[in-house]
Structure 1
């Protein structure tokens, strides 16, 4: 059923890109440094170099999970846009915890209550993501009892695992100015090493001027929303020559599998609109740092390959050198362990592959039912112990399809 669910998602929203000059060069460079075999176009996750699936079709149109709604039975589904669920409702106090509905606000901010139909099959399915799902459970009274009481939230179910095991795969972006124009591309090629490092590439102005690159130029301790907004605004006023250089540049991104490092999510305020406090503890596990160091060394080899010769400078023009700290992170000159460890920590960025917070065994069971509560499941990336593959999109969408079929099958 898992394989058929993957195939169903792939048929709906996945496409193989047509490689152009930059992506082709990175593919050849990966193979040149020994990240083989060449696995070609494949959705499978395996060591070597491959062209992965994309949610952009041949016309450049992006497809999302919303596209899957066209396959739904419109008589059985109602979609509310711009609605926020504030908390899950449970059966009256004194009875075992059982989800009975939700409190939500509509696009005008008006609050409503929606209740489940009476019956053994009625359930609330939470799919708010690795940050949203544990946050919603806590606001609904499901989580660590002491923490909930500290926020004056009535405890419905004492479940200390909610919000634990939060992780995000650490990533480091290396800016690669090119002497010749490159295409605009997002992640297409990926090199999967045998030690847990993934190497991916993007190119063109959309990639090199993105906040993924700019975020890494600001030390982690100094990053906040105001600083990043100022940085993004400053990029608009860069001299024309710098913008031209940025427009014909590539980015090589390394991502750590797993990761072994993890943190936690806790409440900040008691409103769903207020973001919770999240700490991922990037590179706190030595094995993650080792992976970054080794992957960065492989990237250095890639930049020195014959395949990349036309896309790299033997020495940077003065314009690039003068504006280096504004443009992005370059390959560190020294590749010793201490220097690379510091570089990995100082230039780490998110890759938005958040997971954990409602993990199997501590929060949900093998069928993703919340332990100790009836009529309540969590079905999203918060159940993962590690992020699947080089990008978890396919697995998250597969999970929705798979669980929909499984729940339907169980009801039959």
Structure 2
């Protein structure tokens, strides 16, 4: 094994969080950072840059290719869970939606034990990250690294969703990240002049010339190194050889909600019973590693045959979103839908219904799901992916809410605004009764790609990191990514992870409180 130079910080994972940390920590010229990314560099890859064809990236060369465990509640299906394997991580292959959810989503973190993490503490970091096209307000930021825009020429089906919502008496919002979230709005997108704004492009590219930043791509972390209970660095595989890099100050895991807990388990940090089962010596007994796995279930989708050609794909292939309550007694919206400028269907639904030709979708999903899953080891071999199981629909409240979501989509389709665009329903081909709707949910349930919670912040017996993101039971090791989120917010997770990483950079560097 080769050992290379030491760095103050070694960051594992060049994704939504890792690129932010690498850029922010190297603003101090006296701080040295190595960023390890398992995938290739993003520069010059045209496919990563085009907003309208992002879905073609899923399952391809820049995706880890993970699948959730087969789920009997989904007719035994193993749902693919795309994760970016390239600089920028999932911010380089996602749908580019910048949506922050409701303030109470972040207050729930503190309630769950993440002391000091709440909406008030994160709002400055959302604003710090943003270059919002509407300019700075008390809620929005201007001049930050990430350009945030709305569709300038929305697709007719995006406008149709807004008009349909209005016909049903729902609010049409000026800004989905404004003071209210319930209702319809044009999407906020991480798109600048037709180009994707990944964290690699917005944070890392401006920092590439810094002599204190070293980036190694095609470098897969295979283990953590320790001296006693102190994490001293990372072992990684590059060009067929295993190499060790030392972290003088700290090792920062930013590998995401799947790979970060996997690396902890491989290092002997986790549930002792699980570790012993696989012959892994116990370094720190943290039974919460891999537990608390959360994701938002999404129906792919409700498809309609268009009256006329859909024309060219605009923006990210969507352009409008809608939030509403599955039950009027709820305090906040739990359902979320977006439009798709084309078909949106699982293979099982596509086999059952005709979704060829000019078809578009309104796809509802659940942003306040109750089902909780788990990530566990399959093998002590780092090349063997873990078992990842969100246990979709294991809480029947989730099934009931998704069934209600189907009904609301058909309500929208019957408005004057959308009826003018729809020739007929395609998949399903009519409004469904309860039994049929439950079957459709089982066959079409997929993922919003919002895996989180597997290294949750807190102080209880299942907490993995403390509110400074330090791993309990060891030293010089932190986790900074979606895995530390104790309660998944009711939104896309790219914006929350970036805000979390912005704050983490200040915590690590000791500069928190200086962000305006």
Q: Specify if TM > 0.5.
A: yes
SS in 1 for 2:423: coil
Q: 2:321 aligns with which of 190, 204, 207?
A: 190
Q: Is the 8 A contact 2:468 2:507 kept in 1?
A: no
Q: Is the 8 A contact 2:339 2:362 kept in 1?
A: yes
- Alpha carbons of structure 1 residues 213 and 184: separation in structure 2 relative to 1, 3 Å: same
CA positional deviation for 1:174? 1.1
Aligned to 2:494: 393
C-alpha deviations, 1:378-404, integer Å up to 9, x for none? Answer: 111111234324311111111111211
Q: Is the 8 A contact 2:187 2:321 kept in 1?
A: yes
CA positional deviation for 1:177? 1.5
C-alpha deviations, 1:311-358, integer Å up to 9, x for none? Answer: 2115x7xxxxxxx7xxxx32553233x332332122211221111211
Gaps of 5+ in 2: 1-120, 132-144, 327-333
TM-score w.r.t. length of structure 2: 0.65
CA positional deviation for 1:71? 4.3
Q: Is the 8 A contact 2:407 2:431 kept in 1?
A: no
- Alpha carbons of structure 1 residues 32 and 273: separation in structure 2 relative to 1, 3 Å: farther
CA positional deviation for 1:129? 0.9
Aligned to 1:81: 217
SS in 1 for 2:309: coil
Q: Is the 8 A contact 1:17 1:188 kept in 2?
A: yes
- Alpha carbons of structure 1 residues 332 and 135: separation in structure 2 relative to 1, 3 Å: farther
CA positional deviation for 1:127? 0.9
CA positional deviation for 1:76? 2.7
**Matched pairs, number:** 358
Aligned to 2:151: 17
* Counterpart check, 1:214 vs 2:346: yes
Q: Pick the structure with greater CA Rg.
A: 1
Bigger helix share:
1
Q: 1:162 aligns with which of 289, 292, 297?
A: 289
Aligned to 1:180: 308
Q: Is the 8 A contact 2:323 2:335 kept in 1?
A: yes
- Alpha carbons of structure 1 residues 332 and 275: separation in structure 2 relative to 1, 3 Å: farther
Superposed counterparts of 1:240-251, under 5 Å: 245=357, 248-251=358-361
For residues 177 and 384 of structure 1, the distance between their equivalents in structure 2, rounded to whole angstroms, comes to 39
SS in 2 for 1:147: helix
Q: Is the 8 A contact 1:170 1:282 kept in 2?
A: yes
- Alpha carbons of structure 1 residues 390 and 189: separation in structure 2 relative to 1, 3 Å: farther
For residues 319 and 429 of structure 2, the distance between their equivalents in structure 1, rounded to whole angstroms, comes to 21
For residues 369 and 216 of structure 1, the distance between their equivalents in structure 2, rounded to whole angstroms, comes to 43
Aligned to 1:255: 365
* Counterpart check, 1:98 vs 2:227: no
C-alpha deviations, 1:70-107, integer Å up to 9, x for none? Answer: 34472332111111111111113xxxx2211111112x
SS in 1 for 2:130: helix
Aligned to 1:359: 456
Superposition misfits of 4+ residues, deviation over 6 angstroms: none
SS in 2 for 1:300: helix
SS in 1 for 2:505: helix
Aligned to 1:228: none
Aligned to 1:348: 445
Aligned to 2:337: 199
C-alpha deviations, 1:170-225, integer Å up to 9, x for none? Answer: 11111122121224242321111134111111103xxx2xxx6234528xxxxxxx
CA positional deviation for 1:10? 2.2
CA positional deviation for 1:410? 5.2
* Counterpart check, 1:171 vs 2:306: no
- Alpha carbons of structure 1 residues 215 and 275: separation in structure 2 relative to 1, 3 Å: farther
C-alpha deviations, 1:57-76, integer Å up to 9, x for none? Answer: 332x2121112113447233
Gaps of 5+ in 1: 219-230, 232-237, 317-323
Q: Is the 8 A contact 2:346 2:444 kept in 1?
A: no
Q: Which moved more, 1:382-391 or 1:278-287?
A: 382-391
Q: 2:169 aligns with which of 17, 22, 34?
A: 34
CA positional deviation for 1:269? 2.3
- Alpha carbons of structure 1 residues 357 and 31: separation in structure 2 relative to 1, 3 Å: same
RMSD (Å), alpha carbons: 2.3
Q: 2:246 aligns with which of 115, 118, 128?
A: 115
Q: Is the 8 A contact 2:336 2:364 kept in 1?
A: yes
SS in 2 for 1:40: coil
* Counterpart check, 1:276 vs 2:386: yes
Q: 1:267 aligns with which of 374, 377, 384?
A: 377
For residues 43 and 53 of structure 1, the distance between their equivalents in structure 2, rounded to whole angstroms, comes to 8
TM-score w.r.t. length of structure 1: 0.81
Q: Is the 8 A contact 1:35 1:192 kept in 2?
A: no
